[in-house]
Amino acid sequence: MDLDLNLTVGPGGCVDCRHCGAQVGTSTAAPLDKAVRTQRPPSEAGPGMHADPARFTDRPIVLRQVFCPNCLVLLHTEIVPADEPCYRQWSLR
């Protein structure tokens, strides 16, 4: 079963990259546990990030991204307060 444009359920229930076949997660209950995660300044998301967040809030804001460990295809992007955990998660039973 494909999970989205990038991920599919592989043999044994692991989560694999649809682009290169590498394992991204050990199971659909932990679908991205082998992925590469980075954190960068939000301005690196491109020119659509107009003003410095510090103008409006004292909390640090970051660009978080998740990649396939092998082909480095981008699996997840969010811009959030740096002091928050990643609330955007999913798992299948």
Partner 1 sequence: MPVIPIAGSERFGQSEAPLDPDESFGDLALHRVDAQAIAGVDALTYEVIRHRLVAVTDDMGEAIKRMSGSVVVTDCNDFGAAIMDELGETVQVGLYNMQLGSSLDMAGRWTLRNRSVSPGIHPGDQFLLNDPWIGGGLHQNDVTVLAPLFYQGQLFCWTGAVAHQVDLGGVSPGSWSVDGRDVFWESVPIPPVTIVERGRLRADTEDMYLRRSRVPKLVGLDLRAKIGANNVAHERLTTLIDKYGPDTVKAVMKRMMDDAETRLRAKLRMLPEGEWSAVAHQDGGRADDRQVHKIVVRMTKRSDRLHFDFTGTDPQVEGIINCTLAGLRGGILPILLTMLCPDIPWAPGGIYRCVDITSEPGTINNCTFPAGIGKASVNSAWATQNAVSETVAEMLATHPELSRSATSVCSGTWDLTLLAGVDQRGGGFATMLCDAMAGGLGAKVDGDGVDTGGVNCIPMGRTADVEINEFSFPMLYLWRREEVDSGGPGRYRGGVGGSSCFIPYDSPAQGVHLVVSANGKALPQASGLAGGYPAATQWDVLIRDSSVRRRLAEGVIPSRIEDLGGHTDTVPPHLETDLGADDVYFTHWQGGGGLGDPLLREPEAVARDVALGKVSPQAAERVYGVRLADQAGSDADAEETERLRHHLRQERARLT
Counting Cβ atoms within 10 Å, is residue 32 exposed (0-12), middle (13-18) or buried (19+)?
Answer: buried
Of the candidate residues 3, 8, 14, 19, the single one contacting Zn ion (CB under 5 A)? 19
Of the candidate residues 71, 74, 82, 86, the single one contacting Zn ion (CB under 5 A)? 71
Cα–Cα dist 41/55, whole Å: 15
Task: Give the nearest distance from C-beta 50 to Zn ion in angstroms.
Answer: 32
Task: Give the nearest distance from C-beta 62 to partner 1 in angstroms.
Answer: 9
Return the one option of Zn ion, partner 1, none that residue 17 interacts with (CB less than 5 to 8 A, by type).
Zn ion
Of the candidate residues 22, 33, 34, 67, the single one contacting partner 1 (CB under 8 A)? 67
Q: Which two tokens stand for residue 28?
A: 């659909």
Residue 34 binds partner 1, judged by CB under 8 A: no
Residue 6, phi-psi category: left (phi > 0), alpha (psi -120 to 50), beta (remainder)? alpha
